[in-house]
């Protein structure tokens, strides 16, 4: 099965998904192979987020990754798949000039967009200890946002403004005020984030939103929410940001635990991707690169 893409170029594809009438799912990936698997299964848009990228490199999600490291991963992903890629730009500590350089680098690597959050530094993950993060002043964030908008070299490149107001405990009014200011400054879409246990505050935000720009959310903490709830709330993109990484860690742990206890190798082989499929996924020239067959892996979607 070939990689999924929109009807036009990968860069335009993200904008088309955001502006479309349906609610789409965006899946987080952390390297080229996870992107190949996701695209091969028909996922229509990909997220490259700082948590999964940091985890893949064994470091905390505290801004330790450099722009060069992020751009290198993005380049490897867009070289292998034609699926639109939205990149987590963080920007908690990044200056407007550094933000501009990042955006130009992403455009050169055929990323479809960047997402900039409005927390103040030092960088901490949204699910860190409560009270450890604060919102950046609106004027400061707008400088970064405008730098991103003015630096894109492809007019189809999407700049998503992410408000963390609800994450840090602010009221929905502040989240709305910030989102409106970001759209007025030119943001193409709003990512409203929450770590509440239910969809309720995001639903209220959506009810009060005037739909002047598309909305994104990430139901990491309210994962039990039925997908139809996102549709009825007019959310354009629902982001599963870290599920691929979390499942990968579990799978690797299962193999490692069995190895440490000298479990029977033949019984393990039946739950693994074949060597032939591994060669195909990595683009070995002796194999058919358009085939993605993960049907022999336990618990994964069969295509």
Residues serving a catalytic function are: 61
Say how far apart CA 94 and CA 114 lie, in whole Å.
14
Distances (CA, A) of 186 to 118, 144, 154, 189: 15, 12, 15, 9
Q: Which residue has the tokens 């400054």?
A: 185
Burial of 122 (0-12, 13-18, 19+ CB in 10 A): exposed
Which segments within 31-183 are labelled E, that is strand? 46-48, 85-90, 113-117, 158-163
Asked if 6 contacts 16 with a C-beta cutoff of 8 angstroms, the reply is: yes
Q: Residue 90: beta bridge partners?
A: 116
Burial of 262 (0-12, 13-18, 19+ CB in 10 A): exposed
Residue 51 has a CB neighbour count (10 Å cut-off) of 20
Cβ contacts of residue 147 below 8 Å, gap of 6+?
A: 96, 97, 99, 100, 103
Q: Residue 48: beta bridge partners?
A: 29, 87
């Amino acid at each position: 099965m070939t990689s999924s893409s929109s009807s036009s170029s990968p860069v335009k594809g993200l904008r088309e998904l955001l502006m479309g009438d349906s609610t789409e799912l965006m899946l987080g990936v952390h390297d080229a192979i996870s992107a190949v698997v996701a695209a091969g299964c028909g996922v229509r848009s990909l997220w490259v987020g700082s948590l999964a990228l940091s985890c893949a490199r064994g470091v905390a999600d505290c801004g330790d990754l450099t722009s060069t490291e992020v751009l290198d991963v993005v380049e490897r992903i867009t070289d292998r798949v034609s699926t639109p890629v939205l990149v987590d730009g963080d920007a908690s500590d990044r200056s407007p000039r550094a933000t501009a350089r990042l955006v130009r680098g992403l455009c050169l690597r055929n990323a479809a967009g960047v997402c900039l959050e409005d927390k103040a530094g030092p960088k901490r993950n949204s699910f860190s200890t409560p009270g450890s993060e604060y919102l950046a002043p609106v004027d400061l964030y707008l400088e970064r946002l405008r730098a991103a908008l003015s630096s894109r070299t492809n007019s189809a490149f999407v700049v998503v403004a992410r408000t963390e107001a609800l994450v840090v405990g602010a009221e929905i009014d502040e989240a709305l005020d910030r989102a409106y200011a970001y759209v007025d400054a030119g943001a193409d879409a709003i990512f409203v984030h929450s770590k509440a246990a239910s969809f309720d505050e995001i639903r209220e935000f959506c009810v009060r939103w005037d739909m002047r720009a598309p909305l994104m959310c990430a139901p990491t903490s309210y994962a039990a929410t039925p997908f139809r709830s996102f549709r009825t709330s007019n959310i354009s993109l629902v982001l599963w940001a870290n599920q691929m990484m979390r499942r990968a860690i579990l799978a690797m742990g299962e193999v490692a635990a069995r190895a440490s206890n000298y479990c029977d190798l033949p019984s393990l082989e039946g739950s693994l991707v074949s060597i032939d499929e591994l060669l195909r996924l990595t683009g070995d020239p002796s194999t058919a690169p358009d085939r993605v067959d993960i049907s022999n892996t336990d618990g994964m979607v069969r295509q």
